[in-house]
Amino acid sequence: MERETLGGTRFRVERPADVGAFIALAGDYLEAREAEHCLPLGIATNLRQGIQPLSEPPLFAVVLGRDDDRVVAVALRTPPYNLVVSLAEDLEAVDALVDALAGEAPPGVSGPRDAAARFAERWAARAGRRASVRMAERIYRLTAVRAPRPAPGRMRPAERADRPLLLAWIEAFFQEALGESTKPDDSVDRWLAGQGRTLFLWEDGDVRVSLCGVGSETPHGIRVGPVYTPPEHRSRGYASNLVAGVSQAQLDAGRQFVTLFTDLANPTSNKIYMDVGYEPVIDVDRIDFVD
């Protein structure tokens, strides 16, 4: 197992060369708090399955105690996206990550609030940039569905004929949720081919009214998202019923739990998810580095 080791004082950082070596070294640490680490575990699963598109080779870093070789923090990045950091048992371990990744240039960092803030503060000071919180989020976990008030219509898997609508809705989701444009063509084509994520629609009569995706497997769970309902179809229970149906299908398939991310600035979506059985796990931040 090829990996690079970088030194420090109380901690040392290893840089596994590939996702297999990364999981061998850090998998138990991430799995011990699986819901909290649903993002890095889901990314690792997609890399292992060869369904994570990459513009450059991925980055892996694992912080271990110098005296006991115990994993205390983890980071990974799939360019061009943010660095993703894990929970850190000791925030000084995050400083070791900053030192070890000095030659990298992530556009931002995402992760549990304390660890992300610590990394962002240290990184921005070193790089002469400013850290700006793009989004405050919360991870939720569901182990049992509470059925919402029924909405008219039914859930069905998205099909190739839905592609134009999916492209428009996923672009609208990114614009609304993140304030940024995306190019969903490749993602939608992969998902319709069954790679990485499955998309479902809620239909009321012959009108498609809501979208919900699910994918990014973890050892015992899976993550819901994106979820999008056009403004003209909101407040009718479509999204609640669709998310509940998708979540129940995953539990029926043997998942122990389902996770999702919410934007804390959107109280409506947070209430919808809690109403169908999702429970808060941890707050996470998405932080950009800006000039």
Number of domains in the chain: 2
In a domain, 133, yes or no: no
Examine the fold and report which residue of 67, 102, 128 is the final residue of a domain before the chain moves on.
Answer: 128
**Residue 148 and residue 268 share a domain:** yes
Give the angle 285-287-291 at the CA atoms, nearest 5°. Answer: 165
**Residue 159 and residue 123 share a domain:** no
Using one digit for the tens of pLDDT, what is the confidence trace for 46-75? 999 998 888 899 999 999 999 999 999 999
In a domain, 47, yes or no: yes
Contact 114, 242 (CB under 8 A): no
In a domain, 135, yes or no: no
pLDDT at 1: 40
Examine the fold and report which residue of 74, 99, 128 is the final residue of a domain before the chain moves on.
Answer: 128
**Residue 189 and residue 257 share a domain:** yes
In a domain, 252, yes or no: yes
In a domain, 49, yes or no: yes
**Residue 115 and residue 23 share a domain:** yes
pLDDT at 55: 83
Using one digit for the tens of pLDDT, what is the confidence trace for 195-205? 989 999 999 99
Among 215, 217, 225, 178, which residue's Cα sits nearest to residue 37?
Answer: 217
**Residue 218 and residue 96 share a domain:** no
pLDDT at 178: 76
Examine the fold and report which residue of 96, 128, 160 is the final residue of a domain before the chain moves on.
Answer: 128
**Residue 281 and residue 199 share a domain:** yes
**Residue 103 and residue 159 share a domain:** no
**Residue 167 and residue 66 share a domain:** no
Q: What is the CATH number of the domain that holds 89?
A: 3.40.630
In a domain, 119, yes or no: yes
Give the angle 89-90-92 at the CA atoms, nearest 5°. Answer: 150
pTM of the model: 0.94
Q: Which residue has the tokens 């980071």?
A: 75
Full domain range(s) for residue 234: 142-285
**Residue 151 and residue 18 share a domain:** no
In a domain, 137, yes or no: no
**Residue 122 and residue 184 share a domain:** no
**Residue 273 and residue 239 share a domain:** yes
Using one digit for the tens of pLDDT, what is the confidence trace for 210-262? 999 999 999 999 999 999 999 999 999 999 999 999 999 999 999 999 999 99
What's the Cα-to-Cα distance from 25 to each of 8, 22, 211, 252, rounded to whole Å? 18, 5, 37, 31
In a domain, 136, yes or no: no
Using one digit for the tens of pLDDT, what is the confidence trace for 126-184? 999 999 999 999 999 999 999 999 999 999 999 999 999 999 999 999 888 877 767 78
Query: Which is it for the CA torsion 32, 34, 36, 39, positive or negative?
Result: positive
Q: What is the CATH number of the domain that holds 260?
A: 3.40.630.30
**Residue 146 and residue 103 share a domain:** no
